[in-house]
Amino acid sequence: MQKIRIVGLQSQKGRIIAELHRLGVIDIRKSALSIEDDKPGESLPSVSELVVRYNSAISILSKHMKKGSQAGHHAKEKQSQLEPLMKTASRLQAVNDTIALDERKTALEGDISRLDTETKTITLFLDSGIDFSQLRSETLDFAAFLLSRGTRGKAQKHIAAMRHNCEVIENRVKGGLVVFVAYKKDEVSTIDEFAHLNGVKEIDISSERFDSTPEKVLAELSKTRKEEELELKSAVAKLEEHAAKDYNHIASVLEMLSVEAERASVSISFKRTESTFAAEGWIEKKKLPEVSAQVSRVTGDHFVIEELEDGELAPTLVSRPRFFRPFDNLMEFFSLPRSDELDPTWIFIIAFPIFYGLMVSDVGYGIASFVFAWLIAAKTEPDSLMNSVAKIWQISSVAIIVFGFLSNQYFGFGLNQYLVPGFTGFDWLKNTPIILAATVIFGIAQVVVGLLFGFVNSNSHGHRKLAFARLTSIAAVVTGTVAVGGALFGLFSPAITDVAAGLGILSVVATVALSGIEATEVVSLISHPLSYARIMGFGLASVILALLIDKTFTPSLAAGILPFLLTSVIFILLHFVNMILGIFEGLVQGARLNFVEFFSKFYTGGGVKFKPFFYRRRYTKEV
């Protein structure tokens, strides 16, 4: 990466900005020059206002786009010049109609909801003899209450007390009793006491639509609702028509406006004089000649590009195949690697699915895991963290299926003999020591790789002692492994074991002497590789539980229909629980082994992502 400064004439700033935006290769940053700050383009307020309005229209139309529509699948429109674009955008009637229709639709939905509530309320007063048009008085107030069945007996004494100085009408309804009360305005305390009884709910009778007998009000409410429902259907139909006819054009204009808004706002990072401006940013060094040539083309060579060396840390360039981008998104959420350290993402991409696959290791669970992950990915926003996690989960579920096949596990059953005669794979129960040794060796290998990364990073930053301490730590891990393997498991001869133990002690002493920072990690040189044994532990636990479920609850018709159905339910439920436990632990522990045991050996993080000044077009293209 190279930081550059482009100096050009104010009169050519618009053309230079447009060209840089088209190329999309420069991450523009705030200039540090001690001259006047530049200002955003004069068009920014009006363009931004239109962008907001067009975004609202697109959001509305996208909700009314019918399945199988051709949104986004059309010939791309050419980017318009600013002045004609603003005129077109300001006069596009489809946008105004869309927003007006949506506002009316929202109002109608709210009114229909209120009509439904009022219909339920007025139904409570049918056959009561009350005429709401007569409930107008300077001295009286009116209230109504709904009493549940269990409350009616307890409330009778309060109703009787109210009858002494209030007019009370009772109306029995399904599920309870409606009590209508007419009282003097100065008798509010009596009504309040009744309203606060448990099981008494006040009914809102303040609607302006309650202006006649309940029967007439109900008929009017029904008529009004039908009219508004027809109007609502008409508004929705018109919105669907606009979505089918105008969506692509509105989206194209919105895209052009968004491009102009970005171009108008970027100059806030520039510096200026009366006749010139200066823009700074980061670029991949190999793309510098292309930028120079293209800017020269649009300016007639009236500009200057200079390479800057100010000691600022370059942004981190993330460039990986699209299939693996969810891992980058997760790394960005955790902490993006700095541009001056080795990127461990590829190690994470390889290691995580292996860890997860081994800890679950069942073809049936793997298929179910893949389906769950696919559903979550389909239901979440493409750029969200949950979507990235779901896609990583999908990739890792393939590893579950592979390891499930290799270990001959299909919901705990062995089926390889029917699929691949003669191939039974490895047996978790019979080969436990080998699996344990393999996972620990895998852990040692990843920890060693982490320490090698730490050596490279420390050495490149000029921390020589710390860098060599990483090498002595590697020696301690390797020789310690040989010593423990020889002493406890007889994997090596006594002579080799003794030499390895001696070298291990010397390596630890050298590590402590070289770096206090690395000395604090000496204990972890033993504990972290051993942590990888959890892969075997969780994998073995999942397999054993599946076998126990199969042995105890495999359904059999020989026992009868009822026992068969009962054991089927238990069988499915227990496998589901075992699968969920395995999936959860696999995801959590697989991430932990990478982020804690591996990354702690070298990772600094805190990098800033390289974000070029660029707009990814979908509906339009440059002129």
Bridge partners (DSSP) of residue 21 are none
> How many Cβ atoms from other residues are within 10 Å of residue 535's Cβ?
27
pLDDT band at 601 (very low <50, low <70, confident <90, very high): confident
Helix 93-123 / helix 214-265 crossing angle, nearest 10 deg? 150
- Over residues 561-573, the mean pLDDT reads 89
Q: What is the pLDDT of residue 72?
A: 53
Bridge partners (DSSP) of residue 78 are 621
Q: What is the pLDDT of residue 70?
A: 54
Residues contacting 451, CB < 8 A, separation 6+ = 470, 471, 473, 474, 477, 601, 602
**Percentage helix, strand, coil, to 5, in the chain?**
65, 10, 25
Residue 177 CA to residue 166 CA, distance in Å, equals: 18
Instruction: Kindly provide the b/e burial profile for residues 45-63, where b requires at least 16 CB atoms within 10 angstroms of the residue's own CB.
Output: ebbbebbebbeebbebbee
What is the identity of the amino acid at 470?
Answer: R
Contact 89, 257 (CB under 8 A): yes
Q: Tell me: pLDDT of 367 over 90.
A: yes
Bridge partners (DSSP) of residue 141 are 183
What is the identity of the amino acid at 10?
Answer: Q
- Considering only CA atoms, which of 319, 334, 182 is closest in space to residue 190? 182
Which H/E stretch holds residue 203?
strand 200-203
Token pair belonging to 67: 């399945």
Residues contacting 313, CB < 8 A, separation 6+ = 338, 339, 340, 608
Residue 119 CA to residue 136 CA, distance in Å, equals: 21
Q: Tell me: pLDDT of 317 over 70.
A: yes
Tens-place pLDDT, residues 230-245: 999 999 999 999 998 9
pLDDT band at 613 (very low <50, low <70, confident <90, very high): very high
Q: What is the pLDDT of residue 82?
A: 82
Q: Tell me: pLDDT of 396 over 90.
A: yes
**What's 431's DSSP letter?**
T
Q: Tell me: pLDDT of 471 over 80.
A: yes
Q: Tell me: pLDDT of 489 over 80.
A: no
Instruction: Give the burial class of 620: count Cβ atoms within 10 A of its Cβ; 0-12 exposed, 13-18 middle, 19 or more buried.
Output: buried
- Over residues 71-83, the mean pLDDT reads 70
Q: What is the pLDDT of residue 76?
A: 74
Q: Tell me: pLDDT of 184 over 90.
A: no
CA atoms within 13 A on the CB side of 595: 15
Which H/E stretch holds residue 145?
strand 140-148
- Over residues 312-335, the mean pLDDT reads 89
Residue 16 CA to residue 292 CA, distance in Å, equals: 11
Q: Tell me: pLDDT of 400 over 60.
A: yes
List the domain boundaries for the chain.
2-93+240-308, 117-221, 326-332+344-426+534-551+582-606, 428-531
The CATH T-level fold of domain 117-221 is Alpha-Beta Plaits (3.30.70)
Q: What is the pLDDT of residue 193?
A: 78
pLDDT band at 519 (very low <50, low <70, confident <90, very high): low
**DSSP secondary structure of 444-507:** HHHHHHHHHHHHHHHHHTT-HHHHHHHHHHHHHHHHHHHHHHHHHH--S-HHHHHHHHHHHHHH
Bridge partners (DSSP) of residue 282 are 3, 27
Residues contacting 457, CB < 8 A, separation 6+ = 340, 341, 342, 602, 604
Residue 429 CA to residue 181 CA, distance in Å, equals: 78
Residues contacting 2, CB < 8 A, separation 6+ = 282, 283, 284, 285, 288, 307
Give CA separation, 517 vs 196, 511, 521, 602, in Å. 68, 9, 7, 12
Q: Tell me: pLDDT of 80 over 90.
A: no
> How many Cβ atoms from other residues are within 10 Å of residue 153's Cβ?
9
Give CA separation, 482 vs 241, 432, 531, in Å. 74, 20, 18
- Predicted TM-score of the model (pTM): 0.74
